[in-house]
Structure 1
Amino acid sequence: MADDLIFYTNPMSRGQMVRWMLEEVGAPYETHILDYDTAMKAPDYLAINPMGKVPAIVHNGRVVTECAAICAYLADAFAGAGLAPAPADRADYYRWLFFAAGPVEQAVVSKHLGLEPEGEQRRMAGFGTLDQTLDTLETAVAGKNFVAGERFSAADVYVGSHIDWGLQFGSIPSRPAFEAYVAPLRERAAYQRAKQIDNALIAEMQAPAA
Protein backbone atom coordinates (compact mmCIF):
# COMPACT_ATOMS: atom_id res chain seq x y z
CA MET A 1 0.00 0.00 0.00
CA ALA A 2 1.23 3.51 -0.81
CA ASP A 3 0.62 4.77 2.71
CA ASP A 4 3.14 2.18 3.96
CA LEU A 5 5.82 4.27 2.21
CA ILE A 6 5.54 8.05 2.48
CA PHE A 7 7.97 10.42 0.77
CA TYR A 8 8.43 13.98 2.02
CA THR A 9 10.12 16.24 -0.49
CA ASN A 10 10.29 19.44 -2.46
CA PRO A 11 11.02 19.05 -6.18
CA MET A 12 13.67 21.78 -5.96
CA SER A 13 15.80 19.87 -3.47
CA ARG A 14 17.98 16.81 -2.96
CA GLY A 15 14.68 14.99 -2.83
CA GLN A 16 15.19 14.42 -6.56
CA MET A 17 17.80 11.82 -5.63
CA VAL A 18 15.32 9.89 -3.53
CA ARG A 19 12.59 10.26 -6.15
CA TRP A 20 14.87 8.50 -8.62
CA MET A 21 15.61 5.76 -6.07
CA LEU A 22 11.90 5.27 -5.38
CA GLU A 23 11.21 4.93 -9.08
CA GLU A 24 13.98 2.33 -9.35
CA VAL A 25 12.46 0.41 -6.42
CA GLY A 26 9.08 0.37 -8.11
CA ALA A 27 7.00 0.10 -4.93
CA PRO A 28 3.95 2.37 -4.56
CA TYR A 29 4.57 5.45 -2.44
CA GLU A 30 2.71 8.52 -1.31
CA THR A 31 4.31 11.93 -1.88
CA HIS A 32 3.97 14.92 0.43
CA ILE A 33 5.28 18.16 -1.09
CA LEU A 34 6.55 20.60 1.53
CA ASP A 35 7.44 24.25 1.07
CA TYR A 36 10.58 25.60 2.69
CA ASP A 37 9.12 28.39 4.81
CA THR A 38 6.10 26.81 6.44
CA ALA A 39 5.48 23.08 6.01
CA MET A 40 9.11 22.06 6.60
CA LYS A 41 9.13 24.04 9.84
CA ALA A 42 5.71 22.93 11.06
CA PRO A 43 5.55 20.84 14.24
CA ASP A 44 4.15 17.75 12.52
CA TYR A 45 7.10 17.61 10.10
CA LEU A 46 9.68 18.56 12.72
CA ALA A 47 8.48 15.49 14.61
CA ILE A 48 9.66 13.49 11.58
CA ASN A 49 12.86 15.42 10.89
CA PRO A 50 13.90 17.93 13.57
CA MET A 51 16.29 19.47 11.03
CA GLY A 52 13.28 20.77 9.12
CA LYS A 53 14.77 19.61 5.83
CA VAL A 54 13.78 17.24 3.05
CA PRO A 55 13.86 14.55 1.90
CA ALA A 56 12.59 12.04 4.41
CA ILE A 57 10.68 8.81 4.15
CA VAL A 58 8.44 6.97 6.55
CA HIS A 59 8.24 3.26 5.83
CA ASN A 60 5.98 1.11 7.95
CA GLY A 61 6.14 3.79 10.63
CA ARG A 62 9.93 4.07 10.61
CA VAL A 63 11.59 7.36 9.71
CA VAL A 64 14.69 7.58 7.54
CA THR A 65 16.37 10.88 6.66
CA GLU A 66 19.57 11.78 4.73
CA CYS A 67 19.68 10.90 1.05
CA ALA A 68 22.44 8.31 1.17
CA ALA A 69 20.82 6.57 4.13
CA ILE A 70 17.44 6.56 2.38
CA CYS A 71 18.95 5.04 -0.77
CA ALA A 72 20.74 2.33 1.19
CA TYR A 73 17.65 1.64 3.28
CA LEU A 74 15.35 1.32 0.29
CA ALA A 75 17.79 -1.04 -1.45
CA ASP A 76 17.62 -3.35 1.56
CA ALA A 77 13.92 -2.90 2.32
CA PHE A 78 12.98 -3.76 -1.27
CA ALA A 79 15.65 -6.36 -1.97
CA GLY A 80 13.68 -7.76 -4.88
CA ALA A 81 14.60 -4.69 -6.94
CA GLY A 82 18.24 -5.84 -6.92
CA LEU A 83 19.67 -2.45 -5.99
CA ALA A 84 22.26 -3.62 -3.47
CA PRO A 85 25.13 -6.05 -4.00
CA ALA A 86 25.34 -9.21 -1.93
CA PRO A 87 26.70 -8.43 1.58
CA ALA A 88 30.09 -9.95 0.76
CA ASP A 89 30.41 -7.66 -2.28
CA ARG A 90 29.57 -4.34 -0.68
CA ALA A 91 33.03 -2.83 -0.16
CA ASP A 92 32.87 -0.47 -3.16
CA TYR A 93 29.14 0.02 -2.63
CA TYR A 94 29.58 1.45 0.87
CA ARG A 95 32.85 3.16 0.04
CA TRP A 96 31.57 5.27 -2.82
CA LEU A 97 28.06 5.79 -1.49
CA PHE A 98 29.43 7.42 1.63
CA PHE A 99 32.34 9.11 -0.12
CA ALA A 100 29.74 11.02 -2.11
CA ALA A 101 27.73 11.71 1.04
CA GLY A 102 30.80 12.98 2.88
CA PRO A 103 33.75 14.49 0.99
CA VAL A 104 31.95 15.16 -2.31
CA GLU A 105 28.97 16.89 -0.69
CA GLN A 106 31.20 18.88 1.68
CA ALA A 107 33.72 19.92 -0.96
CA VAL A 108 31.13 21.07 -3.50
CA VAL A 109 29.03 22.99 -0.97
CA SER A 110 32.09 24.59 0.62
CA LYS A 111 33.28 25.81 -2.78
CA HIS A 112 29.84 27.23 -3.52
CA LEU A 113 29.87 29.09 -0.20
CA GLY A 114 33.34 30.47 -0.88
CA LEU A 115 34.92 28.40 1.88
CA GLU A 116 38.16 26.80 0.74
CA PRO A 117 40.45 25.34 3.41
CA GLU A 118 44.08 26.39 3.31
CA GLY A 119 47.20 24.93 4.87
CA GLU A 120 46.48 23.31 8.21
CA GLN A 121 42.73 23.61 7.64
CA ARG A 122 42.97 20.92 4.98
CA ARG A 123 43.88 18.39 7.65
CA MET A 124 40.66 19.17 9.50
CA ALA A 125 38.43 19.16 6.42
CA GLY A 126 37.53 15.59 5.53
CA PHE A 127 37.64 16.41 1.83
CA GLY A 128 41.03 18.14 1.82
CA THR A 129 40.46 20.16 -1.34
CA LEU A 130 37.81 20.14 -4.05
CA ASP A 131 40.34 19.10 -6.69
CA GLN A 132 41.58 16.20 -4.57
CA THR A 133 38.01 15.08 -3.98
CA LEU A 134 37.08 15.27 -7.66
CA ASP A 135 40.24 13.42 -8.67
CA THR A 136 39.28 10.64 -6.27
CA LEU A 137 35.70 10.62 -7.54
CA GLU A 138 37.04 10.27 -11.05
CA THR A 139 38.95 7.12 -10.06
CA ALA A 140 35.66 5.67 -8.80
CA VAL A 141 33.83 6.01 -12.14
CA ALA A 142 36.48 6.16 -14.86
CA GLY A 143 36.02 3.40 -17.39
CA LYS A 144 33.11 1.87 -15.47
CA ASN A 145 29.45 1.40 -16.23
CA PHE A 146 28.63 1.17 -12.52
CA VAL A 147 30.43 2.45 -9.48
CA ALA A 148 30.15 -0.67 -7.33
CA GLY A 149 30.49 -3.79 -9.39
CA GLU A 150 29.04 -5.26 -12.54
CA ARG A 151 25.48 -4.03 -12.13
CA PHE A 152 23.50 -0.92 -11.30
CA SER A 153 22.93 -0.26 -7.59
CA ALA A 154 21.72 2.37 -5.14
CA ALA A 155 25.28 3.70 -5.12
CA ASP A 156 24.83 4.69 -8.77
CA VAL A 157 21.65 6.54 -7.89
CA TYR A 158 23.43 8.56 -5.24
CA VAL A 159 26.85 9.03 -6.82
CA GLY A 160 25.25 9.53 -10.22
CA SER A 161 22.89 12.15 -8.84
CA HIS A 162 25.77 14.19 -7.44
CA ILE A 163 27.68 14.08 -10.71
CA ASP A 164 24.58 14.65 -12.84
CA TRP A 165 23.49 17.63 -10.76
CA GLY A 166 27.02 19.03 -10.58
CA LEU A 167 27.53 18.87 -14.33
CA GLN A 168 24.16 20.51 -15.01
CA PHE A 169 24.72 23.41 -12.64
CA GLY A 170 28.49 23.80 -12.95
CA SER A 171 29.35 22.87 -9.37
CA ILE A 172 31.32 19.90 -10.71
CA PRO A 173 33.48 20.66 -13.74
CA SER A 174 33.02 18.53 -16.82
CA ARG A 175 35.48 15.68 -17.21
CA PRO A 176 35.27 12.92 -19.83
CA ALA A 177 34.99 10.24 -17.14
CA PHE A 178 32.09 12.03 -15.46
CA GLU A 179 30.24 12.60 -18.72
CA ALA A 180 30.72 8.99 -19.82
CA TYR A 181 29.50 7.65 -16.49
CA VAL A 182 26.29 9.68 -16.23
CA ALA A 183 25.21 9.48 -19.88
CA PRO A 184 23.70 5.96 -19.65
CA LEU A 185 22.25 6.68 -16.21
CA ARG A 186 20.20 9.50 -17.71
CA GLU A 187 18.69 6.98 -20.14
CA ARG A 188 17.31 4.76 -17.41
CA ALA A 189 13.52 4.62 -17.39
CA ALA A 190 13.33 5.28 -13.65
CA TYR A 191 15.59 8.34 -13.94
CA GLN A 192 13.42 9.76 -16.70
CA ARG A 193 10.19 9.05 -14.82
CA ALA A 194 11.56 10.78 -11.74
CA LYS A 195 12.64 13.81 -13.75
CA GLN A 196 9.26 14.06 -15.44
CA ILE A 197 7.47 13.98 -12.09
CA ASP A 198 9.68 16.58 -10.44
CA ASN A 199 9.88 18.84 -13.49
CA ALA A 200 6.08 18.86 -13.69
CA LEU A 201 5.85 19.76 -10.01
CA ILE A 202 8.40 22.55 -10.45
CA ALA A 203 6.48 23.95 -13.42
CA GLU A 204 3.28 23.86 -11.37
CA MET A 205 4.93 25.65 -8.46
CA GLN A 206 6.39 28.32 -10.72
CA ALA A 207 3.27 28.91 -12.76
CA PRO A 208 1.67 32.32 -12.12
CA ALA A 209 -1.43 32.21 -9.99
CA ALA A 210 -4.63 32.34 -12.03
Structure 2
Amino acid sequence: MLTFYTNPQSRGRIVRWMLEEVGQPYDTVVLDYGPAMNSPDYLAINPMGKVPAVVKEGHVVTECAAICAWLAEAYPEAGLQGDDRASFLRWMFFAAGPLEAAVTNRALEVVVPPGKSGFVGYGSFERAVDTLEGALEGHDWLGGSAFSAVDLYVGAQVIWGLQFGTLPDRPAFLAWRDRLVARPAYIRATALDDALVAKA
Protein backbone atom coordinates (compact mmCIF):
# COMPACT_ATOMS: atom_id res chain seq x y z
CA MET A 1 0.00 0.00 0.00
CA LEU A 2 1.16 3.50 -0.83
CA THR A 3 0.88 6.23 1.78
CA PHE A 4 0.52 9.74 0.43
CA TYR A 5 1.29 12.74 2.67
CA THR A 6 -0.20 15.96 1.40
CA ASN A 7 -2.09 19.16 1.91
CA PRO A 8 -4.76 20.03 -0.65
CA GLN A 9 -3.35 23.56 -0.96
CA SER A 10 0.12 22.44 -1.94
CA ARG A 11 2.09 20.79 -4.72
CA GLY A 12 0.58 17.61 -3.34
CA ARG A 13 -2.16 18.18 -5.91
CA ILE A 14 0.34 17.16 -8.60
CA VAL A 15 1.03 13.87 -6.86
CA ARG A 16 -2.67 13.25 -6.19
CA TRP A 17 -3.25 13.55 -9.94
CA MET A 18 -0.36 11.15 -10.61
CA LEU A 19 -1.73 8.62 -8.14
CA GLU A 20 -5.11 8.78 -9.83
CA GLU A 21 -3.44 8.19 -13.19
CA VAL A 22 -1.53 5.20 -11.78
CA GLY A 23 -4.77 3.69 -10.51
CA GLN A 24 -3.32 1.86 -7.50
CA PRO A 25 -4.87 2.06 -4.01
CA TYR A 26 -3.29 4.53 -1.63
CA ASP A 27 -3.86 5.96 1.83
CA THR A 28 -3.94 9.74 2.22
CA VAL A 29 -2.53 11.54 5.26
CA VAL A 30 -3.44 15.23 5.25
CA LEU A 31 -1.06 17.47 7.18
CA ASP A 32 -1.69 21.06 8.13
CA TYR A 33 1.04 23.62 7.67
CA GLY A 34 3.11 24.37 10.76
CA PRO A 35 3.41 21.95 13.68
CA ALA A 36 2.04 18.90 11.85
CA MET A 37 4.60 19.12 9.04
CA ASN A 38 7.36 19.75 11.58
CA SER A 39 6.47 16.98 14.00
CA PRO A 40 9.24 14.45 14.76
CA ASP A 41 7.21 11.70 13.08
CA TYR A 42 6.87 13.58 9.81
CA LEU A 43 10.40 15.01 9.87
CA ALA A 44 11.59 11.41 9.98
CA ILE A 45 9.88 11.03 6.58
CA ASN A 46 10.82 14.41 5.11
CA PRO A 47 13.36 16.47 7.06
CA MET A 48 12.37 19.48 4.94
CA GLY A 49 9.02 19.56 6.75
CA LYS A 50 7.02 19.89 3.55
CA VAL A 51 4.63 17.88 1.45
CA PRO A 52 4.12 15.90 -0.69
CA ALA A 53 5.79 12.63 0.18
CA VAL A 54 5.01 9.06 -0.78
CA VAL A 55 6.00 6.00 1.24
CA LYS A 56 5.84 2.40 0.05
CA GLU A 57 7.35 -0.54 1.94
CA GLY A 58 9.73 1.74 3.81
CA HIS A 59 10.88 3.60 0.71
CA VAL A 60 10.35 7.36 0.90
CA VAL A 61 10.12 9.58 -2.16
CA THR A 62 9.83 13.37 -1.95
CA GLU A 63 9.88 16.17 -4.57
CA CYS A 64 7.09 16.12 -7.12
CA ALA A 65 9.23 15.39 -10.17
CA ALA A 66 10.91 12.47 -8.42
CA ILE A 67 7.59 11.11 -7.16
CA CYS A 68 6.02 11.27 -10.62
CA ALA A 69 9.00 9.59 -12.28
CA TRP A 70 9.21 6.93 -9.55
CA LEU A 71 5.51 6.10 -9.71
CA ALA A 72 5.70 5.80 -13.49
CA GLU A 73 8.54 3.28 -13.12
CA ALA A 74 7.04 1.45 -10.14
CA TYR A 75 3.77 0.84 -12.01
CA PRO A 76 4.72 0.38 -15.68
CA GLU A 77 1.30 -1.08 -16.44
CA ALA A 78 -0.09 2.46 -16.19
CA GLY A 79 1.86 3.39 -19.32
CA LEU A 80 3.19 6.69 -17.93
CA GLN A 81 6.93 6.33 -18.60
CA GLY A 82 6.81 7.82 -22.08
CA ASP A 83 8.20 6.18 -25.21
CA ASP A 84 10.92 8.81 -25.69
CA ARG A 85 12.94 8.54 -22.49
CA ALA A 86 15.40 11.24 -23.53
CA SER A 87 12.60 13.78 -23.93
CA PHE A 88 10.85 12.49 -20.81
CA LEU A 89 13.92 13.10 -18.63
CA ARG A 90 14.93 16.30 -20.38
CA TRP A 91 11.64 18.10 -19.82
CA MET A 92 11.03 16.64 -16.36
CA PHE A 93 14.30 18.10 -15.11
CA PHE A 94 13.91 21.29 -17.12
CA ALA A 95 10.63 22.00 -15.34
CA ALA A 96 11.94 21.02 -11.90
CA GLY A 97 15.00 23.23 -12.34
CA PRO A 98 15.19 26.16 -14.77
CA LEU A 99 11.48 26.66 -15.39
CA GLU A 100 10.39 26.63 -11.75
CA ALA A 101 13.30 28.87 -10.75
CA ALA A 102 12.48 31.34 -13.53
CA VAL A 103 8.79 31.51 -12.64
CA THR A 104 9.44 31.75 -8.90
CA ASN A 105 12.04 34.48 -9.26
CA ARG A 106 9.75 36.45 -11.57
CA ALA A 107 6.89 36.16 -9.03
CA LEU A 108 9.20 37.30 -6.20
CA GLU A 109 10.55 40.15 -8.34
CA VAL A 110 14.08 38.79 -8.14
CA VAL A 111 16.12 40.64 -10.76
CA VAL A 112 19.27 39.09 -12.17
CA PRO A 113 21.89 41.85 -12.57
CA PRO A 114 22.86 42.77 -16.13
CA GLY A 115 25.52 40.45 -17.50
CA LYS A 116 24.90 37.83 -14.79
CA SER A 117 22.28 35.64 -16.50
CA GLY A 118 24.87 32.89 -16.88
CA PHE A 119 24.89 32.48 -13.10
CA VAL A 120 21.27 31.28 -13.00
CA GLY A 121 20.18 28.04 -14.59
CA TYR A 122 17.39 29.61 -16.60
CA GLY A 123 19.17 32.57 -18.19
CA SER A 124 16.03 34.67 -18.31
CA PHE A 125 12.32 34.16 -17.74
CA GLU A 126 11.60 34.80 -21.40
CA ARG A 127 14.17 32.27 -22.56
CA ALA A 128 12.81 29.55 -20.25
CA VAL A 129 9.23 30.17 -21.38
CA ASP A 130 10.23 30.28 -25.06
CA THR A 131 12.07 26.98 -24.63
CA LEU A 132 9.03 25.22 -23.21
CA GLU A 133 6.80 26.68 -25.89
CA GLY A 134 9.21 25.41 -28.53
CA ALA A 135 9.08 21.91 -27.06
CA LEU A 136 5.30 21.86 -27.47
CA GLU A 137 5.14 23.22 -31.00
CA GLY A 138 4.06 20.42 -33.31
CA HIS A 139 3.71 17.95 -30.42
CA ASP A 140 0.78 16.97 -28.25
CA TRP A 141 2.98 15.45 -25.55
CA LEU A 142 6.48 15.93 -24.14
CA GLY A 143 7.48 12.33 -23.47
CA GLY A 144 6.73 10.82 -26.85
CA SER A 145 3.62 9.80 -28.73
CA ALA A 146 1.23 9.68 -25.75
CA PHE A 147 0.50 11.33 -22.42
CA SER A 148 3.02 10.43 -19.71
CA ALA A 149 4.17 11.52 -16.26
CA VAL A 150 6.27 14.35 -17.70
CA ASP A 151 3.16 15.90 -19.24
CA LEU A 152 1.47 15.66 -15.87
CA TYR A 153 4.31 17.25 -13.93
CA VAL A 154 5.20 20.01 -16.37
CA GLY A 155 1.56 20.46 -17.35
CA ALA A 156 0.53 21.02 -13.74
CA GLN A 157 2.97 23.92 -13.61
CA VAL A 158 1.51 25.34 -16.81
CA ILE A 159 -2.07 24.92 -15.56
CA TRP A 160 -1.20 26.84 -12.38
CA GLY A 161 0.86 29.41 -14.27
CA LEU A 162 -2.03 30.20 -16.59
CA GLN A 163 -4.50 30.29 -13.70
CA PHE A 164 -2.44 32.68 -11.58
CA GLY A 165 -0.89 34.73 -14.37
CA THR A 166 2.71 33.64 -13.80
CA LEU A 167 2.93 32.24 -17.34
CA PRO A 168 1.77 33.99 -20.51
CA ASP A 169 -1.36 32.85 -22.39
CA ARG A 170 0.43 31.38 -25.37
CA PRO A 171 -1.58 29.18 -27.77
CA ALA A 172 0.60 26.11 -27.24
CA PHE A 173 0.15 26.36 -23.45
CA LEU A 174 -3.59 26.90 -23.67
CA ALA A 175 -4.13 23.95 -26.02
CA TRP A 176 -1.98 21.68 -23.84
CA ARG A 177 -3.85 22.77 -20.71
CA ASP A 178 -7.16 21.95 -22.36
CA ARG A 179 -5.98 18.42 -23.19
CA LEU A 180 -4.71 17.88 -19.65
CA VAL A 181 -7.69 19.12 -17.65
CA ALA A 182 -10.01 16.88 -19.68
CA ARG A 183 -8.32 13.73 -18.37
CA PRO A 184 -10.57 11.70 -16.05
CA ALA A 185 -7.76 11.27 -13.49
CA TYR A 186 -7.21 15.03 -13.36
CA ILE A 187 -10.93 15.58 -12.79
CA ARG A 188 -11.04 12.94 -10.02
CA ALA A 189 -7.92 14.28 -8.30
CA THR A 190 -9.17 17.85 -8.41
CA ALA A 191 -12.51 16.85 -6.93
CA LEU A 192 -10.82 14.96 -4.08
CA ASP A 193 -8.56 17.86 -3.17
CA ASP A 194 -11.29 20.47 -3.58
CA ALA A 195 -13.46 18.45 -1.19
CA LEU A 196 -10.65 18.48 1.40
CA VAL A 197 -10.30 22.25 1.03
CA ALA A 198 -14.05 22.71 1.49
CA LYS A 199 -14.04 20.44 4.54
CA ALA A 200 -11.24 22.43 6.16
Shared fold (TM-score, shorter chain, > 0.5):
yes
What's the counterpart of residue 103 of structure 2? Answer: 108
What's the counterpart of residue 154 of structure 2? Answer: 159
Is 1:200–2:177 an aligned residue pair? no
**Cα contact 2:17–2:185 (8 A) shared by 1:** yes
What's the counterpart of residue 40 of structure 1? Answer: 37
Distance 1:69 1:121 in 2: 30
User: Scaled by the length of structure 1, what TM-score is found?
Assistant: 0.93
Give structure 2 stretches of 5+ with no counterpart: none
Deviation at 1:118, TM superposition (A): 2.4
Distance 2:27 2:118 in 1: 43
CA RMSD of aligned residues (A): 0.9
**Identity score, percent:** 56
Distance 2:162 2:13 in 1: 15
**Cα contact 1:75–1:84 (8 A) shared by 2:** yes
Distance 1:117 1:188 in 2: 38
Structure 1 counterpart of 2:68, one-letter code = C
Q: CA offsets, 1:21-80, max 9 Å, x none?
A: 000000000000011111101110000000001100001210000000000000000111
Deviation at 1:142, TM superposition (A): 2.1
What's the counterpart of residue 71 of structure 2? Answer: 74
2:170 is aligned, of 171, 175, 180, to 175
Q: CA offsets, 1:141-171, max 9 Å, x none?
A: 1232111210110001101101001001111
1:123 is aligned, of 108, 118, 122, to 118
Distance 2:166 2:121 in 1: 18
Structure 1 counterpart of 2:125, one-letter code = L
Q: How many matched pairs? A: 200
What's the counterpart of residue 26 of structure 2? Answer: 29
**Cα contact 2:82–2:147 (8 A) shared by 1:** no
Distance 1:148 1:85 in 2: 5
SS in structure 1 at match of 2:147: coil
**Cα contact 1:143–1:177 (8 A) shared by 2:** no
What's the counterpart of residue 208 of structure 1? Answer: none
Is 1:85–2:82 an aligned residue pair? yes
Deviation at 1:204, TM superposition (A): 1.2
Structure 2 counterpart of 1:94, one-letter code = L
Give structure 1 stretches of 5+ with no counterpart: 206-210
Structure 1 counterpart of 2:98, one-letter code = P
